[in-house]
Chains A and B, each alone.
Chain A
Amino acid sequence: MIKIENLSVQAGAFRIQDVSLTVPSGKYGVLMGKTGSGKTTILETVLGLRNASTGRIVLGDLDVMGLNPAVRGVGYVPQDGALFSSMTVRDHLDFALMIRKVPRAGCQQRVEELANLLGIEHLLDRKPRGLSGGERQRVALGRALSFQPKVLCLDEPLSALDDDTRVRMCDLLSNVQKQTGTTTLHVTHNSDEAERLADFLFRIEDGQIRQVRPEL
């Protein structure tokens, strides 16, 4: 579950005041809004990369306010993928496992599992340079899912893709979310993407979040 309660965040001159949303466990939540509406700020606050002034964020059954982002257990896929240029795709997939000192056999098994799930087996020994937009986002998704996070946060992950790739990635995201059962919060400005993916659809306007689907 992702539960944001009465959250207020100050980001420079921009302020989000008293917003709330809840994505139940295992569901796909989409937060829609125009550029500059504050959706990325909210996502970054959930991730712990930005401090909230007031409010509460609960992930699963844990109140994560003030908790270090490293221990929140949130997988993160940024807009541009932010792949590590010096690492191979395999290194990306077992990076979080290496930090958790997972034995080699376990890492190998998890990497194969993820590569199979995301259709990137043939890319495992390649570095990010030269990967297509869709491939990069698959790798970023695999990296975020590698440590089996309880929550997945996606920040406009499909915005840089062409229409065909975007449709395919939407299907992939939907399938992966259903298979893994990871509670997901996806922010986007694209209504088509939101319609395709959302179990719970929220709209942010004028600093306020409104639940669009299912209607309250």
Chain B
Amino acid sequence: MSSHPEQPAAREPIPDANSGTSNIVGGRDLDARQIAVSNVLFYLVFIVMGGTYVVLIVGMLLADAAYMTEKTFDSLTSEGRSLLSVISHNPIATALADKRIQHSIWLSLISCTMSAVISVMIAIPMGYLISRHEFRGKRFLDAVLDIPIILPPLVIGLSLLILFQFPPFRWIARDVVYQVPSVVLAQFSVACAFAVRTMKATFDHINPRCEDVAITLGCSRAQAFGWVLLPEAERGILTAFTLAWARSLGEFGPLLIFSGATRMKTEVLSTSVFLEMNVGDIEAAVAVSFIMVMAAVVVLILTRLISPSQYGIQ
């Protein structure tokens, strides 16, 4: 008796490329538990590796704070002062009372702000041109902009010093080298490279269609840039400013060579740390370092408050 024509034939495995259940010769079943353990291990290794750096950063700051606290209480016990006198008798208060440190703080604040403002003013057009346009020599220009980031800071200082031996720079060298303007110039030379990188990344993230639309609506290039692109880049500009400011605050090598370390003249906070260390006053050096840490933290917090979501560009 023949089988019914519509009766299905004996079932054979149907090869299905998308099915995960077919048997592959020589393979083995995947073990869900093994995968779960592997996933946990994956994150554990990454967290430990990344966490090491965070521990190092926090550890350095805590060590500074612990050192200062220890010194404060040492002086309290040795001089028999009351606990309240901690406010006026601690390494930071002592450093802040020093006229030379006061000058150093003011010069740092002013020079870092000037350097950051100039950096952003240069970085906006430079970042825009590199991000939006293709031109001959773009790769070369891109590489040139990395030089201040890669070069040893001392070499930048020395190169600046040599540059001012040649005209037209030589004509103004007397008013710049080893004077206050040299501080701003040395800080700017390095900080601007970071600002340019940030602004390029910012413009890369902004949809170029926005400018195209603005132009079809009747804008000139400058109007499209000013009314559409710049407001979109607001957060990037703020980040570039912060980076340039923080970078300027930490600058030391170029300053030492190009501006010198003259107290009450070209001394900024990083120079103060060096000078205090040179005379063996570690307490004062740590106190000034702590002032720098606090200034950097304040700037970072302010930036985060003003722009809660980084790069929230549509």
Contact = CB atoms under 8 A, between A and B. Distances in A.
Given A76-B212, A78-B212, A80-B207, A129 B314 contact: yes
A95 B207 CA distance: 18
A72 B216 contact: yes
17 contacts: A47-B212, A49-B216, A69-B212, A69-B215, A70-B218, A71-B218, A76-B212, A84-B231, A86-B231, A86-B232, A95-B214, A95-B227, A96-B218, A143-B217, A144-B213, A146-B217, A147-B217
Nearest to B211: A82
A129 B232 CA distance: 13
Interface in B271-300: none
A143 B213 contact: yes
Interface string B209-233: 1101111111110010001100110
Nearest to B209: A82
Contact of B216 (A74, A80, A128): A74
A143 B209 CA distance: 14
B233 to A, nearest CB: 10
Given A85-B313, A86-B231, A128-B314, A75 B218 contact: no
Interface in B220-264: 220, 223, 227-228, 231-232, 234
Contacts of A146: 217
A105 interface: no
A-B pairs, top 9 by smallest CB distance, nearest first, are: A86-B231, A82-B209, A96-B217, A85-B314, A76-B216, A99-B218, A78-B209, A82-B210, A82-B213
Interface string A45-76: 00111000000000000000000011110111
Contacts of B220: 70
Nearest to B227: A95
A100 interface: yes
A95 B215 CA distance: 11
A30 interface: no
A47 B231 CA distance: 24
B214 to A, nearest CB: 8
Interface in A64-114: 69-72, 74-76, 78, 80, 82-87, 95-96, 99-100
Contacts of A144: 213, 216-217
Interface of A: 47-49, 69-72, 74-76, 78, 80, 82-87, 95-96, 99-100, 128-129, 140, 143-144, 146-147
A36 to B, nearest CB: 18
Nearest to B313: A85
Nearest to A48: B216
Interface of B: 207, 209-210, 212-220, 223, 227-228, 231-232, 234, 313-314
Contacts of A74: 216
Contact of B213 (A48, A76, A86, A99): A76
Contact of A84 (B215, B218, B228): B228
Contacts of B223: 99
A84 B227 CA distance: 9
Nearest to A87: B231
Given A72-B216, A78-B212, A86-B234, 11 more contacts: A48-B216, A69-B215, A76-B212, A80-B209, A85-B231, A85-B313, A87-B231, A99-B217, A143-B213, A144-B216, A147-B218
Contacts of A47: 212, 216
B218 A100 contact: yes
B60 to A, nearest CB: 38
A83 B314 contact: yes
A71 B228 CA distance: 18
A100 B228 CA distance: 16
Contacts of A83: 210, 314
Contacts of A128: 314
Contacts of A71: 218
Given A78-B209, A78-B212, A129-B314, A99 B232 contact: no
Given A84-B232, A99-B223, A129-B314, A49 B215 contact: yes
A77 to B, nearest CB: 8
Contacts of B234: 86
Contacts of B228: 84
Given A84-B228, A84-B231, A85-B232, A99 B219 contact: yes
A99 to B, nearest CB: 4
A69 B216 contact: yes
Most chain B C-beta atoms within 10 Å of own C-beta, residue among A47, A69, A70, A129: A70
A83 B212 CA distance: 11
Contacts of B314: 83, 85, 128-129
A76 B213 CA distance: 6
A72 to B, nearest CB: 7
